[in-house]
Structure 1
Amino acid sequence: MTNTSILTLDSVTLALPDGRLLFSDLVETFDQRRTGLVGRNGVGKTLLAQVLAGRLPPSEGRCLRRGRVHYVGQHLSDADATVADLAQVREVIDALLRIEAGSTQDADFDCVGERWDIRERLQAQLDQHGLGQLNWAHCAAALSGGQAMRVALLGAFVSDADYLILDEPSNHLDATSRDALMTLLEGWNKGLLVISHDRALLERMERIVELSPLGLSSYGGNYSFYAQCKSAQTEQAERTLERLKLERQRQARELQQQRERLQRQQSRASKAARSANQAKILLDRQQQRSETTAGKQQRDHLAARQALNAQVRDAAQQVESASPIMIHAPAPLQPSGSQVVVLQDLQLPFAHQGLVNLSLYSGERLGLVGANGSGKSTLLKVLAGQLAPIAGTCEVRSEVALLDQHCSLLPAGQSMLDYLRSASANPDESLLRTRLAQLGMGAERISLPSGVLSGGERLKATLAGVLYRDTPVGLLLLDEPSNHLDLPSLAALEAMLRQYRGTLLVASHDRVFMQQLALDGYLQLDEGSELHIRA
């Protein structure tokens, strides 16, 4: 494959409306290699993708594009959208309809171009990928999140674009749909940029580009290669920082010793001059020379100290950008082995399963799996008391918390800091700020309304509110928690969940994430069948 330049960032800078500089002076080329874009939550990956796609102008610099770019974002449609809108072919189909109705406008023919069969091609893709019940005019509001993303991705692959930019494309996709996405990407032979935290997807990439406060860094390999490089870089940055700190301490001691020697020399010279009964003009000249020498040494010392301080700051910034995220596991109140959940002949709302019978015990750790639409989220909401079952009984004998994929516990107008305050009767402000900092949340972000934060930042704030409230959680329910978390936060969440000793029930299509949790087994929930346990 020829690595022909398609997208080029030329000194691109982006400032937010509030004046905050998100990134500056980015210089990078994106060619036809399958490239994954990674970075911590809130660093600006989605906005950078929009700049690359031409959806957002940079504050400074320019983005050069050769060919047509097709962008699929995380938030796909409004209430009035159709399947054609999701697939981004609405304008072409509308132009076709006008031509078929007799239009001779050049704009309509230019819009259609060579895509006279776009309706047939889209329908063929829908049929091939299990969405044959849909057509281009179908209302998008009736689709699940997974179905909407699948339609948007199929639209990308029939777009005839030269470059695809996909923002978190595997979010909301079940295991079967994720496998289909992998197959589609393997068959795509043009430019591709994927913004994702899905490690299985990133493993299929040929290059990883990381966006951080330090800029863009390119790694010529897949996710495993990137992870190895990052680990080595982090270790090197920590060693460099420690060496520079020791050097600064050594330099400070030497400078202090030099000042003390100079003061002693000046004192001895002054005494000797007075004893020699020299003329005042000679004494004044000697004093002036001594002060000049001392001043030059002080300036040299100051310059050396400032240069070393700058090196320490740069090294500290390198370490800070790679510093680990920390999440602390709550201590459950339930004694080990006690019964926490009892479901008897439970009939779930909005679903088509048979009756659900289930018992969960303290300390049990299970994954909840099944295809999109099988009722996983519904079951979790029933366990959390947010939905009532149609029939049967649901008894939960522990403090329960549900962290859903929409972060519904976190009001859009409330800041992260205020949200954590509300979860505690006697909040320790310093402790709350420390815990948010350990989640990778900067001081300038924790006071902003949560509605302006990234999806990952909102998820981390909700997670903190669930884990750090006054009453420990004995039954922790997680619904697709990996969808919006960055890679360091995912690693921290996995580590915390491995340490968690309460009852855990987690629904996720992320196989790598589930494999990291040391689960006792899985609950399989399939449409039209009862809940059953598998190893």
Structure 2
Amino acid sequence: MTAFSLALDRVTFTLPDGRVLFSDLSTSFDTTPTGLVGRNGVGKSVLGRLLAGQLAPTGGQIQRQGRVHLLAQHSGAPAGRIADLAGVAPVLDALARIEAGSVDPDDFACVGDRWTLRAQLQALWQQLGLPALDPDAPARQLSGGQAMQVAVAGALLSDADALVLDEPSNHLDGAHRHRLLEALSQWRGGLIVISHDRTLLRQMQRIVELTPQGLSSHGGNYDLYLQQKQQAQRAAESELALRRHERRQQQQAEREQRERQAHRQARATRDARTANQAPILLGGMKQRSEQSAGRLQAQWAQRRADGDARVRAAAAQVEADVQVALLGPTLGRARPQVALELCDVQLPLLAAPLDRIDLRVPGGARLAVTGGNGSGKSTLLRVMAGRLPPLSGEVRRAVGCALLEQSVFDEGGDGTFIADGSGAEPRSTLALLQRANPAESEGVLRTRLALLGLDADRILRPLHTLSGGERMKAALAAVLYAEQPPPLLLLDEPGNHLDLPSLAALETMLRSYTGTLVMVSHDEALLEAVGITHRLDATAAGWIA
């Protein structure tokens, strides 16, 4: 393994449409485990691709020593084989050809010294808590959490000198998240983790924050970063208050000086009228007075400019407290006694005993669906919503429902979470919301999106160009602000990709939601915050309510 180092020198990146995503970024990375944090849409995933060499900066330079492997965000059903998802398909295919008798030098060059890769892969999958998998099996058979674990295993076996992992704990339950932390603690190369997961970030030894003002580095883990950030924010706010006070004092002094100057000029004018002086002398006195007043005006203007510049510089150090608000839908007061019922349902794609379920969800209930990765939680939600038909039995919905899946706006831009099942992708977030609520005015829709932190520029961008968190916000808006809001809301890991202010807004909205809620989540803090009333747990003995 090569000693890893990476340095950014005044790096700028401009998007294809001409927008500058960030500029003048300078910092360095070594083998210190580092968390990269920042608000949704600030450019963390793009920066990750720059660090890995998948993108080139449009300005500045990146000096890289050692090979960097990027694990990009995973959402949606993975394509290809499990080996493709792990990034080891070329080596395994070459091994298979050699075992079948190939003597092609290219196959031997591809394998190199990785003759035990199959065994290494199975051992690492076991360490991460995965069952034995066939690398040639379709990756689409994996759950979201299992797909993430397979990709993480591939990254750890990539023979890279450094890893850049983008949201590696998404979709993972508590036990598998713990296994991920153990595996990362054993990694000896460079490690940069892009995440909003506080548990994962607490294992890092350095936090680098990306903001619209640039990069800032904080030694220590996430908790220490928060303390440093709060202290810096308080200091910046105090500095701003001081500079504003100085400017007010300066303005007061200028007003008083102007008044004194006006009094002196008025007195001099009166004295000139009563004095018996030659006109030429009076003209000279007037000219000298005007010149003096002009110098004073220039001095005042310069002082005002200097004071304003000091205030602007201090204000730039104060991070804007961006408020994110997600408004709950207005529903009718009447709600059914039973909102959803599954009668002797046999679920597709699942093995016994989790393939059978009987369930009654009361109207107004808040049901948490929990269980390990791959236990069938997402499949259950799709059957509840009518996206997948049961193999047998009956699904009864007393009210309309909407399902927000894990795969919201994956890299292919799929918009199939919309309640009408339309697969046609809207052009932008605003177009998506207009399709969901054609009767509402554009101004109201823009205001609601602005409250979510999606500004006038972002709501017009193509959906697939938005960050994972921004796509999640767009999806939530389309469901909750629809012309007919859903009395039954089915959410599959809605906290994935959301930054902390957006997660807090989601919690607030769900607490005030008056319909029936069914939510899959591994985030116990989120489940507690929304006031869960019922639980359905996937266990080795089947579904237990």
- Shorter chain as denominator, the TM-score bin is 0.7 to 0.9
Distance in 2 separating the partners of 1:422 and 1:287: 72
| Stretch moving more, 174-183 or 388-397 | 388-397
Equivalence for 2:478: 465
Equivalence for 2:299: 300
Indicate conservation of the 8 Å contact 2:365/2:534, yes or no: no
Equivalence for 2:377: 376
Q: Report the 3-state secondary structure (helix = DSSP H, G, I; strand = E; otherwise coil) of the residue aligned with 1:267.
A: helix
Equivalence for 2:7: 8
- After TM superposition, give the deviation of residue 340 of structure 1 in Å: 2.7
Equivalence for 1:418: 431
Equivalence for 2:421: none
Distance in 1 separating the partners of 2:19 and 2:381: 39
Equivalence for 2:289: 290
Distance in 2 separating the partners of 1:79 and 1:381: 17
Q: Report the 3-state secondary structure (helix = DSSP H, G, I; strand = E; otherwise coil) of the residue aligned with 2:460.
A: coil
Equivalence for 2:205: 206
Are 1:72 and 2:84 matched, yes or no? no
496 and 244 in structure 1: CA distance in 2 versus 1, 3 angstrom threshold: farther
Equivalence for 1:436: 449
- After TM superposition, give the deviation of residue 512 of structure 1 in Å: 4.0
Q: Give matches, 1:261-272, under 5 Å.
A: 261-272=260-271
Equivalence for 2:411: none
Q: Report the 3-state secondary structure (helix = DSSP H, G, I; strand = E; otherwise coil) of the residue aligned with 1:446.
A: helix
Distance in 2 separating the partners of 1:113 and 1:86: 21
Distance in 1 separating the partners of 2:103 and 2:167: 41
What's the CA shift string for 1:418-465, capped at 9, x where partnerless? 333344454344443333222222222111121221111111112122
264 and 376 in structure 1: CA distance in 2 versus 1, 3 angstrom threshold: same
- After TM superposition, give the deviation of residue 298 of structure 1 in Å: 2.7
RMSD between superposed Cα atoms in Å: 3.2
Equivalence for 1:397: 398
Equivalence for 1:168: 167
Distance in 1 separating the partners of 2:348 and 2:104: 49
| Stretch moving more, 170-179 or 46-55 | 170-179
| Stretch moving more, 442-451 or 263-272 | 263-272
Are 1:186 and 2:170 matched, yes or no? no
Distance in 1 separating the partners of 2:519 and 2:446: 28
| Stretch moving more, 456-465 or 372-381 | 372-381
Letter in 2 for 1:115: R
Indicate conservation of the 8 Å contact 2:21/2:43, yes or no: yes
- After TM superposition, give the deviation of residue 44 of structure 1 in Å: 0.8
Distance in 2 separating the partners of 1:322 and 1:233: 14
What's the CA shift string for 1:206-241, capped at 9, x where partnerless? 222111101112222222222333344444445554
Indicate conservation of the 8 Å contact 1:164/1:191, yes or no: yes
Distance in 1 separating the partners of 2:365 and 2:431: 33
- After TM superposition, give the deviation of residue 6 of structure 1 in Å: 1.7
Distance in 1 separating the partners of 2:440 and 2:75: 38
Q: Report the 3-state secondary structure (helix = DSSP H, G, I; strand = E; otherwise coil) of the residue aligned with 2:41.
A: coil
Distance in 2 separating the partners of 1:132 and 1:260: 84
Equivalence for 2:489: 476
Indicate conservation of the 8 Å contact 1:16/1:22, yes or no: yes
Q: Give matches, 1:192-271, under 5 Å.
A: 192-242=191-241, 244-245=243-244, 247-271=246-270
Alignment length, in residue pairs?
A: 527
Q: Give matches, 1:101-116, under 5 Å.
A: 101-104=102-105, 112-116=111-115
Indicate conservation of the 8 Å contact 1:34/1:193, yes or no: yes
Give ranges in structure 1 of 5+ residues lacking alignment. none
363 and 240 in structure 1: CA distance in 2 versus 1, 3 angstrom threshold: farther
Residue of 511, 520, 526 corresponding to 2:533: 520
Equivalence for 1:507: 520
Give the TM-score taking structure 2 as reference length: 0.85
What's the CA shift string for 1:230-281, capped at 9, x where partnerless? 3444444455545545554554444344334433433332333233243344
Residue of 464, 467, 477 corresponding to 1:454: 467
271 and 151 in structure 1: CA distance in 2 versus 1, 3 angstrom threshold: same
Letter in 2 for 1:440: G
| Stretch moving more, 483-492 or 124-133 | 124-133
256 and 341 in structure 1: CA distance in 2 versus 1, 3 angstrom threshold: farther
Q: Give matches, 1:314-333, under 5 Å.
A: 314-333=313-332
Indicate conservation of the 8 Å contact 1:82/1:139, yes or no: yes
Letter in 2 for 1:287: K
Give ranges in structure 2 of 5+ residues lacking alignment. 409-414, 419-423
Q: Report the 3-state secondary structure (helix = DSSP H, G, I; strand = E; otherwise coil) of the residue aligned with 1:522.
A: strand
Q: Report the 3-state secondary structure (helix = DSSP H, G, I; strand = E; otherwise coil) of the residue aligned with 1:525.
A: strand
What's the CA shift string for 1:23-58, capped at 9, x where partnerless? 111111222222111111111111111111111111
Distance in 1 separating the partners of 2:436 and 2:75: 33
Distance in 1 separating the partners of 2:241 and 2:449: 26
Q: Report the 3-state secondary structure (helix = DSSP H, G, I; strand = E; otherwise coil) of the residue aligned with 1:169.
A: coil
Letter in 2 for 1:503: T
Q: Report the 3-state secondary structure (helix = DSSP H, G, I; strand = E; otherwise coil) of the residue aligned with 1:482.
A: coil
| Stretch moving more, 167-176 or 128-137 | 128-137
Distance in 2 separating the partners of 1:238 and 1:341: 51
Distance in 2 separating the partners of 1:381 and 1:84: 27
Distance in 2 separating the partners of 1:216 and 1:8: 13
Q: Report the 3-state secondary structure (helix = DSSP H, G, I; strand = E; otherwise coil) of the residue aligned with 2:519.
A: strand
Distance in 2 separating the partners of 1:351 and 1:117: 32
Equivalence for 2:60: 61
Distance in 1 separating the partners of 2:234 and 2:385: 42
Indicate conservation of the 8 Å contact 1:334/1:362, yes or no: no
Give the TM-score taking structure 1 as reference length: 0.87
Distance in 1 separating the partners of 2:520 and 2:132: 27
- After TM superposition, give the deviation of residue 132 of structure 1 in Å: 6.0
- After TM superposition, give the deviation of residue 528 of structure 1 in Å: 7.1
Letter in 1 for 2:194: I
Indicate conservation of the 8 Å contact 2:166/2:194, yes or no: yes
- After TM superposition, give the deviation of residue 183 of structure 1 in Å: 1.5
Indicate conservation of the 8 Å contact 1:334/1:398, yes or no: no
Distance in 1 separating the partners of 2:382 and 2:105: 55
Q: Report the 3-state secondary structure (helix = DSSP H, G, I; strand = E; otherwise coil) of the residue aligned with 2:8.
A: strand
425 and 142 in structure 1: CA distance in 2 versus 1, 3 angstrom threshold: closer
- After TM superposition, give the deviation of residue 151 of structure 1 in Å: 1.9
What's the CA shift string for 1:508-530, capped at 9, x where partnerless? 1234433443423421134772x
Indicate conservation of the 8 Å contact 2:429/2:459, yes or no: yes
Identity %: 48
Indicate conservation of the 8 Å contact 1:331/1:502, yes or no: no
Q: Report the 3-state secondary structure (helix = DSSP H, G, I; strand = E; otherwise coil) of the residue aligned with 2:340.
A: strand
Distance in 1 separating the partners of 2:526 and 2:261: 63
Indicate conservation of the 8 Å contact 1:333/1:472, yes or no: no
Distance in 2 separating the partners of 1:157 and 1:398: 47
Q: Report the 3-state secondary structure (helix = DSSP H, G, I; strand = E; otherwise coil) of the residue aligned with 2:393.
A: strand
Letter in 1 for 2:365: E
Distance in 2 separating the partners of 1:481 and 1:78: 17
Distance in 2 separating the partners of 1:429 and 1:314: 36
